[in-house]
Amino acid sequence: MGAQYGGKRAAKWGGIASLLVAARGEVGIIYTVVHSGKAIGNAVAYTVGASIVPLILVIAGVRLLQGKGRVSGSIAALLLVFDLAFRPWGSMTLLETSASIISLALLIVLLNGVRGSFAVHASEKRVREVFD
Protein backbone atom coordinates (compact mmCIF):
# COMPACT_ATOMS: atom_id res chain seq x y z
CA MET A 1 0.00 0.00 0.00
CA GLY A 2 2.85 2.41 0.75
CA ALA A 3 4.32 1.98 -2.72
CA GLN A 4 0.93 2.69 -4.25
CA TYR A 5 0.45 5.84 -2.19
CA GLY A 6 3.97 7.10 -2.92
CA GLY A 7 3.61 6.24 -6.59
CA LYS A 8 0.31 8.10 -6.89
CA ARG A 9 1.79 11.13 -5.18
CA ALA A 10 4.85 11.10 -7.46
CA ALA A 11 2.63 10.64 -10.52
CA LYS A 12 0.50 13.60 -9.39
CA TRP A 13 3.55 15.84 -9.18
CA GLY A 14 4.73 14.56 -12.55
CA GLY A 15 1.36 15.52 -14.00
CA ILE A 16 1.64 19.00 -12.53
CA ALA A 17 5.15 19.34 -14.01
CA SER A 18 3.88 18.22 -17.41
CA LEU A 19 1.06 20.76 -17.30
CA LEU A 20 3.52 23.51 -16.30
CA VAL A 21 5.79 22.67 -19.24
CA ALA A 22 2.75 22.74 -21.56
CA ALA A 23 1.68 26.13 -20.18
CA ARG A 24 5.20 27.52 -20.66
CA GLY A 25 5.16 26.25 -24.24
CA GLU A 26 1.80 27.82 -25.01
CA VAL A 27 2.84 31.17 -23.53
CA GLY A 28 5.92 31.06 -25.76
CA ILE A 29 3.80 30.25 -28.81
CA ILE A 30 1.38 33.07 -28.08
CA TYR A 31 4.25 35.53 -27.54
CA THR A 32 5.88 34.45 -30.81
CA VAL A 33 2.65 34.80 -32.79
CA VAL A 34 1.77 38.19 -31.31
CA HIS A 35 5.21 39.66 -31.95
CA SER A 36 5.95 38.02 -35.31
CA GLY A 37 3.97 40.42 -37.52
CA LYS A 38 2.92 37.56 -39.81
CA ALA A 39 -0.35 37.42 -41.70
CA ILE A 40 -3.24 35.86 -39.78
CA GLY A 41 -3.25 32.73 -41.95
CA ASN A 42 0.42 32.06 -41.31
CA ALA A 43 0.01 32.82 -37.60
CA VAL A 44 -2.87 30.34 -37.27
CA ALA A 45 -0.93 27.65 -39.12
CA TYR A 46 2.10 28.23 -36.90
CA THR A 47 -0.04 28.15 -33.74
CA VAL A 48 -1.74 24.89 -34.71
CA GLY A 49 1.54 23.22 -35.68
CA ALA A 50 3.43 24.44 -32.64
CA SER A 51 0.62 23.46 -30.26
CA ILE A 52 1.01 19.74 -30.93
CA VAL A 53 3.78 19.29 -28.34
CA PRO A 54 1.92 21.20 -25.58
CA LEU A 55 -1.18 19.14 -26.41
CA ILE A 56 0.80 15.92 -25.90
CA LEU A 57 2.13 17.35 -22.63
CA VAL A 58 -1.42 18.19 -21.45
CA ILE A 59 -2.61 14.67 -22.25
CA ALA A 60 0.36 13.23 -20.36
CA GLY A 61 -0.26 15.59 -17.45
CA VAL A 62 -3.90 14.56 -17.13
CA ARG A 63 -3.01 10.87 -17.37
CA LEU A 64 -0.28 11.26 -14.73
CA LEU A 65 -2.68 13.10 -12.44
CA GLN A 66 -4.87 10.00 -12.69
CA GLY A 67 -1.85 7.79 -11.87
CA LYS A 68 -2.03 6.04 -15.26
CA GLY A 69 0.41 7.91 -17.51
CA ARG A 70 3.18 5.40 -18.06
CA VAL A 71 3.29 5.65 -21.86
CA SER A 72 2.11 9.23 -22.32
CA GLY A 73 4.37 10.45 -19.50
CA SER A 74 7.33 8.67 -21.07
CA ILE A 75 6.59 10.32 -24.42
CA ALA A 76 6.27 13.72 -22.75
CA ALA A 77 9.59 13.20 -20.94
CA LEU A 78 11.24 12.20 -24.22
CA LEU A 79 9.93 15.37 -25.89
CA LEU A 80 11.32 17.46 -23.06
CA VAL A 81 14.68 15.66 -23.29
CA PHE A 82 14.81 16.46 -27.02
CA ASP A 83 13.93 20.06 -26.26
CA LEU A 84 16.80 20.30 -23.79
CA ALA A 85 19.27 18.34 -25.92
CA PHE A 86 18.93 20.54 -28.99
CA ARG A 87 19.34 23.89 -27.27
CA PRO A 88 22.44 25.94 -28.12
CA TRP A 89 24.08 25.53 -24.70
CA GLY A 90 27.26 27.39 -25.63
CA SER A 91 25.64 30.65 -26.74
CA MET A 92 22.81 31.15 -24.28
CA THR A 93 21.94 34.31 -22.41
CA LEU A 94 21.35 34.29 -18.67
CA LEU A 95 17.57 34.24 -19.22
CA GLU A 96 17.81 31.27 -21.58
CA THR A 97 20.10 29.44 -19.17
CA SER A 98 17.63 30.04 -16.33
CA ALA A 99 14.77 28.74 -18.47
CA SER A 100 16.82 25.66 -19.32
CA ILE A 101 17.54 24.99 -15.65
CA ILE A 102 13.82 25.29 -14.88
CA SER A 103 13.05 22.89 -17.75
CA LEU A 104 15.63 20.46 -16.38
CA ALA A 105 14.05 20.61 -12.92
CA LEU A 106 10.59 20.02 -14.43
CA LEU A 107 12.02 17.09 -16.42
CA ILE A 108 13.31 15.51 -13.20
CA VAL A 109 9.88 15.89 -11.56
CA LEU A 110 8.19 14.52 -14.70
CA LEU A 111 10.51 11.49 -14.76
CA ASN A 112 9.77 10.88 -11.09
CA GLY A 113 6.07 11.01 -11.95
CA VAL A 114 6.55 8.41 -14.68
CA ARG A 115 8.43 6.24 -12.20
CA GLY A 116 5.57 6.67 -9.76
CA SER A 117 3.08 5.67 -12.43
CA PHE A 118 5.05 2.49 -13.07
CA ALA A 119 5.10 1.82 -9.30
CA VAL A 120 1.32 2.26 -9.08
CA HIS A 121 0.82 -0.13 -11.99
CA ALA A 122 3.15 -2.74 -10.48
CA SER A 123 1.58 -2.52 -7.01
CA GLU A 124 -1.96 -2.76 -8.41
CA LYS A 125 -0.89 -5.80 -10.40
CA ARG A 126 0.55 -7.44 -7.25
CA VAL A 127 -2.60 -6.64 -5.26
CA ARG A 128 -4.76 -8.26 -7.97
CA GLU A 129 -2.53 -11.35 -7.92
CA VAL A 130 -2.83 -11.67 -4.13
CA PHE A 131 -6.59 -11.20 -3.94
CA ASP A 132 -7.62 -13.16 -7.06
Annotated domain spans of the chain: 2-131
Q: What is the pLDDT of residues 83-95, one digit of tens each?
A: 899 988 888 899 8
95-104 confidence digits (pLDDT tens): 889 989 999 9
How many Cα atoms within 13 Å fall on the side-chain side of residue 26? Answer: 12
Question: What average pLDDT does the segment 111-127 reach?
Answer: 88
Taking the alpha carbons of 18, 20, 21, 26 in that order, is the dihedral positive or negative? positive
Query: What is the pTM (predicted TM-score) of this model?
Result: 0.85
Residue range 21-76, pLDDT digits in tens: 999 988 988 888 888 777 777 777 778 888 899 999 999 999 999 988 899 999 99
Written as one letter, the residue type at 126 is R
